[in-house]
Amino acid sequence: MESEDLNQYQNTQNPEAIQPRIQVSKDGKWVIIRLDVDGKTVSVIKPVAYFEKIFQRARDRPMGTNYE
């Protein structure tokens, strides 16, 4: 699996900061997000299509839309 470290979004001065890690399967169909929560690793597995749909909706939404 290919890995990308997301630590650039982390405040390194905060000892309670979450250190997320994201992996994409070799076939490119699954995204695995791992978080360390209270000393335990929690994994979330989602299909890539899930994120593609989110990005598509964000791109298609007009700028300045009120989300309330």
* Contact call for residues 48 and 31 (beta carbons, < 8 A): yes
Instruction: Write down the pLDDT at residue 47.
Output: 96
The pLDDT averaged over each successive group of 10 residues in the chain (68 residues) is 48 61 93 88 93 92 66
Is the full-model pTM beyond 0.85?
no
Instruction: Spell out the domain ranges in the chain.
Output: 2-60
13: burial class by Cβ within 10 Å (0-12, 13-18, 19+)? Answer: exposed
Instruction: Write down the pLDDT at residue 2.
Output: 44
Instruction: Write down the pLDDT at residue 17.
Output: 62
Instruction: Write down the pLDDT at residue 61.
Output: 83
Instruction: Write down the pLDDT at residue 23.
Output: 93
